[in-house]
Structure 1
């Protein structure tokens, strides 16, 4: 029984499994990038969210995704030579490669605190800084050092104060660390002195020589010419959030954030480089020579300049528009619709995606095909587009409404339905050539539509301030409201049927409802999440997939809000969580066979699986009402877990770090008050999972 209990506890946290969902758009990857580093003119690396590490060997023209072995958010990358490099990130993550990034090994940092920056002064000696804060109540600041190439790390500083974001050394002994203040060491990190008393601070620190250095914070740049004894303040842009600064020589420097800025007078004045292409927020900048530089940022953005910042070229390939709906006509040919009039097509099972001319810039919400060549797209402002030639051209069809069309369903080749977000249902009986409107006076909004045959259909709507399920048996002429059976006041997002009687409804708050009697009654099934669930698709009566996104983020930047991918193999009776590869919103899922499926969503993300979604990352769980309280929190040596319920059963308590590693577990029998010794845990953020026969509850714990 002890071994079984350990297995259950271990499977509660996301397992690290890779190559189960592959990125098809944008490329190389659409996760936010936090740091960029080049070892020469050709070879460079960038790291970011969800364990993202990418590498170029040709000066940025092509990038390859590397397997990091983690899903932690990675913040900094540094190489000591062409083969040996280090990456740091959340959960105390430190990775090392000795073969130029082909393989990465996780090093033992001795902490679970986010590690924000790494810098090496020689092949063996390196420094890492980090920390976090939670709602300005709990703070941790940490500095680590290695003298043996990362084999061991020594804690130089661990204080309950604001975190550090950047570290830079000018020689073997002299270094600077920036955060809400600036620290300096002159003895190789043994001692650190606050050289500004909190007056100057920064997210990025960079020195051009032993005395001259720069620290950036939001729209301000601070400069020292005497090794940090005094600092001068220069405004870059009051409205910009500067994240990174880099100098190519004593006079010429670049700063990135909400924009890209350049100075040619040693930081006294800064000019916005207005010629750069439009891009999301930028987080890091690096130059390989006086003219060639790279900047990386959110949504996988990679920019390159070869003329000292006068012009910048985007290296990310593919659209970054939000994608809302995906549909395949066969195993090779598929279509995606999204924001800004985006329609994509693949003819090679997603290996390449071509953007089609839709003739509109409105948001397109739903796409379906009624044959290999004939397709319908519904979008905002009453937009209906139709193609008769497999997407080569699209024609606008009059819908008779200006309301936003959010969902379209064709039960046969002639009959189709579309619903508007303001309560109107449209119907066509001639393959979408003309549409007739059927306003529902009792419905304030309609969110999804699905027909099982030409007469019987279902929709989700808002009625009298509540979300409800609607049914018609006369081809949409009349509709009857059906109780969902859910006691949660949460939005219902989509409806799907696997046969005439069996259907599913997804919603916010992790809602999954099921009917087996054609909608007469609905039963809630535990999803194991409280998040937004947006789309469902079944490959057969038993096997189905759900996608969405966690909406309850961390109080600090951490990997607790990944995309949601759920799978059932027993017709929705239970759902398992598949390994997430992103923190982006996932909006639509479609499978072409039992193993091959596609997911689309935020920032142009397109994912593909060829093995039915791959590894399961969490054991089957059942959510329960919050009944447990942990105090004190933050804690130092001991915590108490209390509940108002009468427990007459075994309670299993597991404590994990932010990378999912099990650190501590204990069993208790019929105890309403549980005390745990946590003095062996390093300062940082942890997950506490409490399991009883009623289900599983997860709490966050801060140890300081």
Structure 2
């Protein structure tokens, strides 16, 4: 019953205006929160000052009070008081790296992925809230470019690279990110010419349950979603109705509320290009996808289910936030602020982050 009440509370927050939050700051330095543009009486995100201009494409919601963000310039921040204060916990030897994904197990333990060609792709791990970090993986193959990572639990996780020798490369850990190994690619379908993942929101590789994982692609003739039910050893593929056919188009973000029900978002990330079919849904674990009847009006890079809800989810992008209340079939814009990614914690705490140090919390 407690879980049901939590989901209902978050759903109610989307239906009624929320109070503006109080002061926020970085490492004790006060800033001011605000609300981004909203429509039709729906609440806007409560925008929280972070004291940085970094672009945060990596986000991990631990709870209503705790979250991690990772972004440009080797920047990683953490809050444990709902965003009132942010601590700069950037890895000392990560200066200049582009962090695009962070997965947090709790307030102390997190794994962050830096992306780029060759040695620019690295994985860092902390167990003390970011006071110290250990570099646990550095890519030595100039052909590899890692985009996203995901964890099934606190020990087992995967990271994915754009295709090498014609197949997406999968990196695996079974000790919480302390060590990594490249999985054999015999069970991976061949990549299409020009196909790759998008390191736009940390959601091109997502998992649900103990063994299921999905990989989003674009840039080729068709956008695909690949699925593995054995932690990345073997994969199947399905076409998505989200348009591709160009290096800037495809599926950018995925979210699954269980092993069966998922949402894909994407489009064309170029501001001057339309994205008329920016979302699709699956009800069979990704074996097939159908386009949303009323999709978001433009490109979306991040998506998240509201905790304990079977029908409500949020999608975000540079031009706004959309909500669905019917499992992704129809969407409605509720905020016009710019965000790259969104994540919700089991206790109902939902966060979004993006360009120019933007971080916000729902409700």
| Among candidates 131, 156, 159, match of residue 151 of structure 1 | 131
1:291-370 equivalences in 2 (<5 Å): 291-299=311-319, 301-317=320-336
Superposed displacement of residue 263, structure 1: 0.5
The residue aligned with 2:170 is 182
Higher relative contact order (CA 8 A, sep 6+): 2
Q: 1:54 deviation in Å?
A: 8.1
Answer whether contact 1:285 1:295 (CA < 8 A) is retained: yes
Give SS of 1:282's match.
Answer: coil
In structure 2, what is the Cα distance between the partners aligned to 1:256 and 1:74?
19
Q: Distance in 2 between matches of 1:176 and 1:277?
A: 29
- For residues 115-149 of structure 1, give each alpha carbon's deviation from its aligned partner in whole angstroms, at most 9, with x where no partner exists: 1101112332210012224xxxx652100000112
Distance 1:106 1:274, change over 3 A: same
Other-structure match for 1:71: 53
Q: Deviations over 1:150-186 (max 9, x none)?
A: 2211111122443322221112210111231221111
CA 193–317 in structure 1, closer or farther in 2 if over 3 Å, else same = closer
Does the alignment pair 1:250 with 2:238? no
Distance 1:270 1:115 in 2: 30
User: Shift of residue 95 of structure 1?
Assistant: 0.6
Query: What per-residue deviation string (whole Å, max 9, x for no partner) do you get for residues 385-414 of structure 1?
Result: xxxxxxxxxxxxxxxxxxxxxxxxxxxxxx
| CA shift for structure 1 position 70 | 0.8
Equivalent position to 1:270, from 289, 300, 305: 289
User: Matched residues in 1 for 2:296 and 2:210: separation?
Assistant: 35
Q: How far, CA to CA, are the matches of 2:130 and 2:138 in structure 1?
A: 19
Q: Secondary structure at the match of 1:183?
A: strand
How big is the shift at 1:98?
A: 1.5
Q: Does 1:228 pair with 2:232?
A: yes
Are 1:290 and 2:337 an aligned pair? Answer: no
Distance 1:191 1:249 in 2: 28
Alignment of 1:101-180 (within 5 A): 101-110=83-92, 111=94, 112-133=96-117, 140-160=120-140, 161=142, 162-180=144-162
Residue 86 in 1 paired to residue 55 in 2?
no
Q: Secondary structure at the match of 1:104?
A: strand
Give the drift of 1:62: 2.2
User: CA RMSD of the aligned region, Å?
Assistant: 3.0
Q: In 1, distance between residues paired with 2:296 and 2:234?
A: 37
Larger Rg: 1
Distance 1:271 1:60 in 2: 28
2:10 is aligned with 1:41:
yes
CA contact (8 A) 1:121 1:169 kept: no
Query: Following TM superposition, by how much is the alpha carbon of 1:97 offset from its aligned partner in structure 2, in angstroms?
Result: 0.9
**Which residue matches 1:417?**
none
Task: Could you list the structure 1 runs, at least 4 aligned residues long, displaced by more than 6 angstroms after superposition.
Answer: 53-56
How many Å separate the matches in 1 of 2:125 and 2:35? 26
Name the structure 2 match of 1:205.
205
Q: Is the CA contact (8 Å cut-off) linking 2:323 and 2:331 kept in structure 1?
A: yes
TM-score normalised over the length of structure 2: 0.67
Report the Cα offset of residue 55 of structure 1: 7.9
| Residue of structure 1 equivalent to 2:271 | none
Determine if contact 1:142/1:163 at 8 Å carries over to the other structure: no
Match of 2:23 in 1: none
Distance in 2 (alpha carbons) for counterparts of 1:231 and 1:173 = 21
SS at match of 2:73: helix
Q: What is the alpha-carbon distance in structure 2 between the residues aligned to residue 256 and residue 214 of structure 1?
A: 13
Give distance in 1, aligned partners of 2:50 and 2:261.
34
